[in-house]
Chains A and B, each alone.
Chain A
Amino acid sequence: KAGVTQTPRYLIKTRGQQVTLSCSPISGHRSVSWYQQTPGQGLQFLFEYFSETQRNKGNFPGRFSGRQFSNSRSEMNVSTLELGDSALYLCASSLGANSFTDTQYFGPGTRLTVL
């Protein structure tokens, strides 16, 4: 069974640009969550989608947005990039949206560098 895949794996952008990251969950998984990992702030929750609906959103500015498609694939978008957006962006998928029963499986991440 293929794991969570994220594309691209590495990305370099300049300030002010926008970027779209993609996540393909494990087959059959309907929940996708996104996290930002930085040396200073650690792992921080961005958002969670289940059946194309955003269920939870972390404490990030409106420049960060996401969506989920009917095939459960998800994208996140960051507009007007800032230097501080440089990070590893992790995607996790699970069968459902119940952390009690549904283990989250993480992807390898997309390394975003903003110059």
Chain B
Amino acid sequence: AQSVSQHNHHVILSEAASLELGCNYSYGGTVNLFWYVQYPGQHLQLLLKYFSGDPLVKGIKGFEAEFIKSKFSFNLRKPSVQWSDTAEYFCAVTPNNAGNMLTFGGGTRLMVKP
């Protein structure tokens, strides 16, 4: 069975700081990778996803993620965070051709200080 680890449980940054959230997964086969975000009081929503091709994926709101196959990692980055990026971020994985069965990491709570 696959698993996902997010090493940073809580991150506090000041506005304009750069962000990198770590995500590692364990699975022997081909996977589809996702980052979801949950803003305070809102639904879980998709930030970006990776299936194949260019390992650097760009998502909404200036976020990007890089898939490094040799490290089983899919880290999320943003060059300059804003107060509105305060949220909980979840990395998720599903084996290729396994439908919509997402395995989520434990989440990272990001607080951006104005």
Residues of chain A touching chain B, judged by Cβ–Cβ distance below 8 Å, are 3-4, 31, 33, 35, 42-45, 48, 50, 55-56, 58, 90, 92, 94, 97-100, 102-109
From A4, A104, A108, B100 is in contact (CB under 8 Å) with A104
Residues of B within 8 A of A58 (CB): 101
From B46, B90, B96, B97, A43 is in contact (CB under 8 Å) with B90
Known pairs A43-B90, A99-B100; A106 contacts B105 (CB<8 A): no
From B32, B49, B51, B102, A45 is in contact (CB under 8 Å) with B102
From A4, A99, A102, A109, B102 is in contact (CB under 8 Å) with A99
Cβ < 8 Å to A, chain B residues 71-114: 90, 92, 94, 96-107
Given contacts A56-B101, A99-B99, 7 further A-B contacts (CB under 8 A): A4-B43, A33-B102, A43-B90, A50-B99, A58-B101, A100-B32, A103-B46
A35 CB → nearest B CB, Å: 8
Q: How far is the CA of A82 from the CA of B98 in the complex (A)?
A: 30
- Establish whether residues B43 and A3, one from each chain, have CB atoms under 8 Å apart when the complex forms: yes
B33 CB → nearest A CB, Å: 10
B45 an interface residue at 8 Å Cβ cutoff?
Answer: yes
Residues of B within 8 A of A103 (CB): 46, 49
- Establish whether residues B96 and A33, one from each chain, have CB atoms under 8 Å apart when the complex forms: no
Beta-carbon nearest neighbor of B106 in chain A: A42
Residues of chain B touching chain A, judged by Cβ–Cβ distance below 8 Å, are 32, 36, 43-46, 49, 51, 90, 92, 94, 96-107
A-B contact count, CB below 8 Å?
66
Residues of B within 8 A of A98 (CB): 97, 99
From B100, B104, B107, A102 is in contact (CB under 8 Å) with B100
Known pairs A42-B105, A99-B94, A100-B32; A56 contacts B99 (CB<8 A): yes
Beta-carbon nearest neighbor of A57 in chain B: B101
Residues of A within 8 A of B49 (CB): 103
Q: What are 30 A-B contacts defined by CB distance under 8 Å?
A: A3-B43, A33-B100, A35-B102, A35-B104, A42-B105, A43-B90, A45-B101, A45-B103, A48-B99, A55-B99, A56-B98, A56-B101, A90-B44, A92-B100, A97-B99, A97-B100, A99-B32, A99-B99, A99-B100, A99-B102, A100-B32, A100-B51, A100-B96, A103-B46, A103-B49, A104-B46, A104-B100, A105-B43, A106-B36, A108-B43
